[in-house]
Amino acid sequence: MSPADRDAREAHIPTQRDRKAQRSVGPGLYRQRKMIERFFCKLKHLRHVATRFDKLARNFLAAVLLASTSLWLRNESTT
């Protein structure tokens, strides 16, 4: 059983414009989804996170946490 099944969550992926049957996605939910998607894209651009140089999982997790904090602080300083 996947985590989404356990928590009774549904995927909210918007349909393409040329589809006959359009699924409705609320603007707030879509905005949150795009924010998370952009965050992971920025996280993947960081070399030490994308290539996973660390051999130990705890060191990799520490690198991800530091990179996430750095991205969050950079975002907070611009708003």
By the 8 A CB rule, do 64 and 49 touch?
yes
Q: Measured between alpha carbons, how far is 74 from 43 in angstroms, rounded to an integer?
A: 13
**For residue range 20-77, what is the model confidence (pLDDT) as tens digits?**
777 677 778 888 888 888 888 888 888 877 777 778 889 888 888 988 898 888 877 7
Which two tokens mark 44?
């993947």
Residue 25 per-residue DSSP state: -
Q: Measured between alpha carbons, how far is 52 from 39 in angstroms, rounded to an integer?
A: 18
Q: Measured between alpha carbons, how far is 22 from 14 in angstroms, rounded to an integer?
A: 8
User: Who wins on pLDDT, 3 or 56?
Assistant: 56
By the 8 A CB rule, do 45 and 70 touch?
no
